């Protein structure tokens, strides 16, 4: 009788572990194809929000080998990494500025322009049919990982909050078009 109870207890424990593992994989697969939700911050800037993926190192090796390569290129052992975040940013700004005539080396007629603000610096020079442009864009990315919405809000306290990430760029010319954070789970 004791052996039967012990066998049932072991079976129940292994099933519980398999259920939690299955639940983690289901949530990760659902979040894998997730979309970015855009919110408006208090300062009027866009905030991008996504759900986090919870993957093991072996799963990252098969699903995202480029992320594992990025960890190695940063000279960090992959077994010591806890989280990796990838954010894609695109910047766009239309600039209208006046070309000014100038003379360099006392004989060559050129046209130059300059534009500058806190995030963008643009300098250009046109000599004949050749134009040379220098663009410098500076930006700051702010990210926070937090316990967000409950997947089953009707269960209230019994539904643990899922991890979500929010990211915001300082520059008004930049937008986040891709965002993914992977929480690396221990074996």
Q: 3-state SS string over the chain?
A: CHHHHHHHHHHHHHHHHHHHHHHHHHHHHHHHCCCCEEEECCCCCEEEEEECEEEEHHHHHHHCHHHHHHHHHCCCCHHHCCEEEEEEEEECCCCCCCCEEEEECCCEEEEEEEEECCCEEEEEEEECCEEEEEEEECCCEEEEEEECCCCCHHHHHHCCCCEEEEEEECCCCEEEEEEEEEEEECC
Q: For position 91, what pLDDT does the model report?
A: 72
Alpha-carbon span 114 to 98, nearest angstrom: 8
Alpha-carbon span 13 to 19, nearest angstrom: 10
Q: For position 64, what pLDDT does the model report?
A: 80
Entry pTM: 0.55
CA 131 from chain center: how many Å? 35
Alpha-carbon span 73 to 28, nearest angstrom: 25
Q: For position 94, what pLDDT does the model report?
A: 67
Q: For position 139, what pLDDT does the model report?
A: 80
Residues lower than pLDDT 70 in the chain = 30-34, 92-108, 187
pLDDT per position as a tens digit, 63-104: 888 878 877 877 777 777 778 877 777 776 666 666 666 666
């Amino acid at each position: 009788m004791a052996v039967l109870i012990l066998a049932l207890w072991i079976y129940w424990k292994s099933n519980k572990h398999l259920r939690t593992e299955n639940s983690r994989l289901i949530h990760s697969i659902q979040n894998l194809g997730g979309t970015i939700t855009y919110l408006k911050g208090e300062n009027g800037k866009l905030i991008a929000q996504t759900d986090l993926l919870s993957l093991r190192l072996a799963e990252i090796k098969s699903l995202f080998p480029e992320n594992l390569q990025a960890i190695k290129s940063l000279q960090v052992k992959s077994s010591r990494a806890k989280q990796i975040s990838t954010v894609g940013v695109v910047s766009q700004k239309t600039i209208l500025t006046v070309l000014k005539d100038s003379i360099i080396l006392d004989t060559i007629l050129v046209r130059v322009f300059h534009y500058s603000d806190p995030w963008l610096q643009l300098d250009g020079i046109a000599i004949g049919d050749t134009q040379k442009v220098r663009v410098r864009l500076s930006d700051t990315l702010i990210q926070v990982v937090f316990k967000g919405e409950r997947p089953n809000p009707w269960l209230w306290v019994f539904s643990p909050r899922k991890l979500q990430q929010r990211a915001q760029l300082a520059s008004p010319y930049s937008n986040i078009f891709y965002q993914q954070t992977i929480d690396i789970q221990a074996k």
